């Protein structure tokens, strides 16, 4: 049933949304030093902030809007992105 339904999609109208998160205080967990010597390094004392990046793209390569959010993504942030992406892609007349 799914294959039958998917075969009738207009793939030019599909928009893919992806979310990626990272922390701004990323530091190396390991260091390099000559054999037998201690490795020294500096690491930020603060823990940093979590940041989330959300972006949208179509199969034709049209880039929708993207946004960053401090912390985790919630339904309000996701709704804002999908709304602005749909307006952006409609203005470019991606059909």
DSSP H or E stretch at residue 56: strand 50-58
Structure tokens that stand for 84 in this block = 């602005």
The verdict on pTM exceeding 0.85 is no
Predicted pLDDT at 34:
92
How many Cβ atoms are within 10 Å of 67's Cβ, its own excluded? Answer: 16
Domain ranges for the chain: 11-23+47-95
The CA-based angle 58-60-64, given to 5 degrees, is 35
Which distant-in-sequence residues (6+ apart) come within 8 Å of 3 by Cβ? none
pLDDT, one tens digit for every residue, the chain (95 residues): 888 988 888 888 888 888 888 887 777 777 888 999 998 877 767 677 888 888 888 888 877 778 888 888 888 888 888 787 777 767 765 44
């Amino acid at each position: 049933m799914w294959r039958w339904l998917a075969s009738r999609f207009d793939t030019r109208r599909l928009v893919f949304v992806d979310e990626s998160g990272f922390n701004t205080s990323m530091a190396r967990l390991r260091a390099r030093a000559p054999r037998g010597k201690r490795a020294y390094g500096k690491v930020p004392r603060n823990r940093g902030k979590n940041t989330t990046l959300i972006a949208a793209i179509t199969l034709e390569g049209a880039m929708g809007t993207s946004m960053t959010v401090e912390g985790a993504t919630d339904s309000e942030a996701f709704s804002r992105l999908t709304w602005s992406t749909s307006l952006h892609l409609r203005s470019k007349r991606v059909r």
